[in-house]
Amino acid sequence: MVVEFLFRVPNLRRLSIIEKRESASFFTLDQHLMDNLSKPEILPGLERLDLAWSKDNVDLDEGAIMRMLEYRVDRMMLKSAVIGPRDGGELLNDTVVRMQEMREQGINVTVW
């Protein structure tokens, strides 16, 4: 459902998806969304992306989030991102390292 909506708003420049704090049955941030956000035909002009996930979303792959962000930085217009667990949980060390590499490229990427 979210992906279908994103196809319909190609001129969107900023997107924030903040999951509900406790969401045991449905998560907006998932592999399907990350795969689709990596496609150039979805939100080609996106400049800022905020993603905050529920601590209950244990299946969310931070590596997939970072691959999508890196793709958008390298091939599209992404300039800024805020990512992380909604209630301030820890990010994986690899995620932190990759975020630092993006900062060194001049991308404003921070932790939620």
Contact partners, residue 12, CB within 8 Å, separation at least 6: 6, 43, 45, 46
Rounded Cα distance, 25 and 11, in Å: 31
pLDDT given at position 58 = 84
Tally of CB atoms within 10 A around 9: 10
Q: Global pTM?
A: 0.90
Rounded Cα distance, 75 and 85, in Å: 26
pLDDT given at position 36 = 95
pLDDT given at position 79 = 97
Tokens of 75: 């091939």
Rounded Cα distance, 61 and 100, in Å: 18
| Low-confidence stretches of the chain (pLDDT beneath 70) | 23-24
pLDDT given at position 23 = 66
